[in-house]
Amino acid sequence: MLDIAYIRANTELVKTGMVNKGEKTTDVVDRVLEVDEKWRSLVHEIDTLRSTSNARSKEIGKLMGQGKKEEAQVIMSETATAKDTIKRLEEELGVLAQERTDLLYRIPNVPHESVPVGHTDADNVVHSTWGDPLPQEWRVPHWDLAKDHNWIDFERGVKVTGAGFPFYVGTGARLQRALINFFLNSAAERGYTELQAPYFVNEDSARGTGQIPDKEDMMYTIPRDGFFAIPTAEVPVTNFHRDEILELNELPVKYCGYTPCWRREAGSYGKDVRGLNRLHQFDKVELVKFVHPDTSYDELESLREDAELLLQALGLPYRTLLMCTGDMGFTQTKKYDLEVWSPGQQRWLEVSSCSNFESFQARRMMVRYRDEDGKPKILHTLNGSGLALPRIVSAILETYQEASGKVRIPEVLKPFLGNSDYL
RNA sequence: GGAGAGAUGGCAGAGCGGUCGAAUGCGGCGGUCUUGAAAACCGUUGAGCCGAAAGGUUCCGGGGGUUCGAAUCCCUCUCUCUCCGCCA
């Protein structure tokens, strides 16, 4: 959520940002300012009332201590009504406070000035490309190839759990494990501390990163225990420092973590869901940074680079998109998507998205750092995939397949796969 | 799953219903001393909110209650620890 003081001081900027992100109206901004105004004046009123009644209680305490019961009685009778008034006003305040935060939660983060204004994915800007997209030629989609080699078993996944929960079999499973190791090792070399995170989180954590309210439908739930299956490691890893104050000299704090991710993906059908393109359970290595506000845009560039280097090392042609305002999402100020080329399907597949949230998540989670003046300040958070596995598996199978149907192993993965040349 | 104990500041750990935002110790920061460091000594050191500031206010696991007044009493929830059982 945004800082209400920021909204007050930059109302038009916030509204413009909303419009550019594709919100139909900006009424919520006016309403939050209105409610905030009322809230603040009521806070003031209540604080004043409490101040006098606190003073009186102390007075009573003093008199009682001196044994002056009668004098104490007089003041007691005076305070009786103030108590009721305060209680009534506090109830009012509670309603206002709730409304205020509800409204604040509905205001999206403001796009950075460097982000192109646009409405759809057509307005995204190609930031860079690496390698040449391979032509189709003999290359078949990964689902056919994987089936021929018995590397992925979609049918048994359906039997055991349901659609979108495949088995990886034999070499297929090994390839997954190799990729996870390669990604984690690379992240470690780039200064990320590895975290092995819980796969379930509680409600506070889900709220911290913004899955609740609004996006709880994307998550699988464990209602009996009040848990959510994580849709991405971003949730547990970013919440790692919830309600904490980090020291200035430890910034930037960088974590990587491998986890499975579960997403209900309600309402997704059609060709997009063939094979590994869209799953309910998939594996991902996530990169998360906690940084000083002054550096977050530099950190975004280096985060993007961290992710890009993985694709380059794997030798997979890809392109990097700078997402336009309309295609960016509620919580981000700036976002890059990395799309790998799938020669078997002749299309780009998103394998990473690297985002700056500025203080949007950190404010909600109260993650702060202690500034030079000794005061706690909200820091900035960023995250990006490094990388999502299934579409990388698709791209490897399709890119490295030979006319015979055999699949070569990318150089960097060989050490993880017995130094063989072929899968 | 059963039984018991507990939840207080960065950590440890006190706290009769009234000057308790909270003793004390450790840690942190500043200083004295020292060629430098250590030790010793002195001082300082929680966070949120309102406010231009002065100041005010809230917070002792969460929520509710009793009271003029709650860290302290009552109810409730959650979590942690110990023992037993079960178990990778």
CA of A292 vs C1' of B39, distance in Å? Answer: 38
CA of A365 vs C1' of B47, distance in Å? Answer: 15
Q: Kindly state whether residues A93 and A131 are assigned to the same domain.
A: no
Secondary structure letter of residue A233 according to DSSP: T
> What's the CA gap between A335 and A329, in Å, rounded?
9
Q: Kindly state whether residues A277 and A169 are assigned to the same domain.
A: yes
Q: Kindly state whether residues A287 and A344 are assigned to the same domain.
A: yes
> What's the CA gap between A8 and A291, in Å, rounded?
25
Q: Nearest nucleotide to A62 by CA–C1' distance?
A: B18
Q: Kindly state whether residues A64 and A131 are assigned to the same domain.
A: no
CA of A359 vs C1' of B88, distance in Å? Answer: 41
- Is residue A423 in a domain? no
The pair phi, psi for residue A115, each rounded to 5°, is -90, 130
Q: Kindly state whether residues A302 and A411 are assigned to the same domain.
A: yes
Closest CA to A364 of A202, A198, A238: A238
Q: Taking a C-beta distance cutoff of 8 angstroms, is the pair A286, A237 a contact?
A: yes
Q: Transcribe A361-388 into DSSP letters.
A: HHHHHT-EEE-TTS-EEE-EEEEEEEEE
- The CATH number assigned to the domain holding A400 equals 3.30.930.10
- Is residue A59 in a domain? yes
CA of A202 vs C1' of B86, distance in Å? Answer: 26
Protein residues bordering strand B (Cβ below 7 A):
A 4-5, 40, 43-44, 47-48, 50-51, 53-58, 60-62, 64-65, 72, 76, 79-80, 83, 245, 368, 370, 374-376
Q: Nearest nucleotide to A39 by CA–C1' distance?
A: B50
CA of A48 vs C1' of B54, distance in Å? Answer: 15
Q: Where does residue A16 rank: exposed (0-12), middle (13-18), buried (19+ CB within 10 A)?
A: middle
- Is residue A111 in a domain? no
Closest CA to A277 of A351, A216, A330: A351
Q: Kindly state whether residues A49 and A147 are assigned to the same domain.
A: no
HSE, CB side, 13 Å, CA atoms: give it for residue A108: 26
Query: What is the sign of the dihedral through the CA atoms of A111, A383, A335 and A251?
Result: positive
> What's the CA gap between A86 and A228, in Å, rounded?
39
What pLDDT does A59 receive?
Answer: 79
Domain count, chain A: 2
Q: Kindly state whether residues A262 and A321 are assigned to the same domain.
A: yes
- Is residue A100 in a domain? yes
> ipTM of the predicted structure?
0.86
CA of A50 vs C1' of B24, distance in Å? Answer: 32
What residue has token string 């984690």?
A184
Whether this prediction's pTM lies above 0.80 is answered by yes
Q: Kindly state whether residues A213 and A258 are assigned to the same domain.
A: yes
HSE, CB side, 13 Å, CA atoms: give it for residue A168: 18
- Bridge pairing between strands A152-153 and A227-229: unpaired
**Tens digit of each residue's pLDDT, chain A (423 residues):** 999 999 999 999 999 999 999 999 999 999 999 999 999 999 999 988 888 888 888 878 777 766 677 777 777 777 767 778 888 888 888 889 989 999 999 999 999 999 999 999 999 999 999 999 999 889 999 999 999 999 999 999 999 999 899 999 999 999 999 999 999 999 999 999 999 998 988 888 888 888 877 788 889 988 878 888 999 999 999 999 988 888 888 889 999 999 999 998 876 666 677 888 899 999 999 999 999 999 999 999 999 999 999 999 999 999 999 999 999 989 999 999 999 999 999 999 999 999 999 999 999 888 999 888 888 899 999 999 989 999 999 999 999 999 998 999 999 999 999 999 999
Q: Taking a C-beta distance cutoff of 8 angstroms, is the pair A140, A344 a contact?
A: yes
Secondary structure letter of residue A13 according to DSSP: H
- The CATH number assigned to the domain holding A72 equals 1.10.287.40
- Is residue A115 in a domain? no
Range of the domain at A52: 4-104
If you compute the radius of gyration of chain A from its CA atoms, what whole number of angstroms results?
A: 27
- Is residue A9 in a domain? yes
CA of A105 vs C1' of B62, distance in Å? Answer: 22
Q: Kindly state whether residues A38 and A174 are assigned to the same domain.
A: no
Give every CB contact of residue A246 below 8 A, 6+ residues apart in sequence: A253, A290, A367, A368, A369, A370, A379
CA of A58 vs C1' of B17, distance in Å? Answer: 13
Give every CB contact of residue A286 below 8 A, 6+ residues apart in sequence: A232, A233, A234, A237, A256, A257, A258, A259, A383, A384, A385, A386
Q: Nearest nucleotide to A375 by CA–C1' distance?
A: B47
What pLDDT does A232 receive?
Answer: 94
Q: How far is CA A396 from CA A88, A197, A226, A246, A368, in A?
A: 65, 27, 39, 40, 41
What pLDDT does A82 receive?
Answer: 75
> What's the CA gap between A57 and A79, in Å, rounded?
8
Residue nearest to nucleotide B69 (CA to C1'): A57
Q: Kindly state whether residues A353 and A282 are assigned to the same domain.
A: yes
CA of A84 vs C1' of B56, distance in Å? Answer: 20
What pLDDT does A290 receive?
Answer: 94
Q: Which two tokens stand for residue A77?
A: 């009778």
What pLDDT does A67 receive?
Answer: 66
> What's the CA gap between A83 and A49, in Å, rounded?
9
CA of A31 vs C1' of B67, distance in Å? Answer: 39
Residue nearest to nucleotide B58 (CA to C1'): A47
CA of A51 vs C1' of B56, distance in Å? Answer: 7
> What's the CA gap between A337 and A350, in Å, rounded?
7
CA of A193 vs C1' of B6, distance in Å? Answer: 34
What pLDDT does A266 receive?
Answer: 73
Burial state string for A104-134 with b = 16 or more CB within 10 A and e = fewer than 16: bbbbbbbbbeebbebeeeeebeeeeebeebb
Q: Kindly state whether residues A130 and A98 are assigned to the same domain.
A: no
CA of A372 vs C1' of B40, distance in Å? Answer: 30
A369's torsion region: left (phi>0), alpha (psi -120 to 50) or beta?
beta
What pLDDT does A383 receive?
Answer: 96
- Is residue A109 in a domain? no
- Is residue A125 in a domain? yes
Residue that is last in its domain, among A104, A137, A163 = A104
Residue that is last in its domain, among A77, A104, A131 = A104
Q: Kindly state whether residues A188 and A263 are assigned to the same domain.
A: yes
Give every CB contact of residue A76 below 8 A, 6+ residues apart in sequence: A60
Helix (H) or strand (E) holding A268: none
Count CB atoms within 10 A of the CB of residue A314.
Answer: 22
Strand B bases contacted by the protein (CB, 7 Å): 18-19, 47-51, 55-58, 68-69
Query: Which of helix, strand or coil describes residue A308?
Result: helix
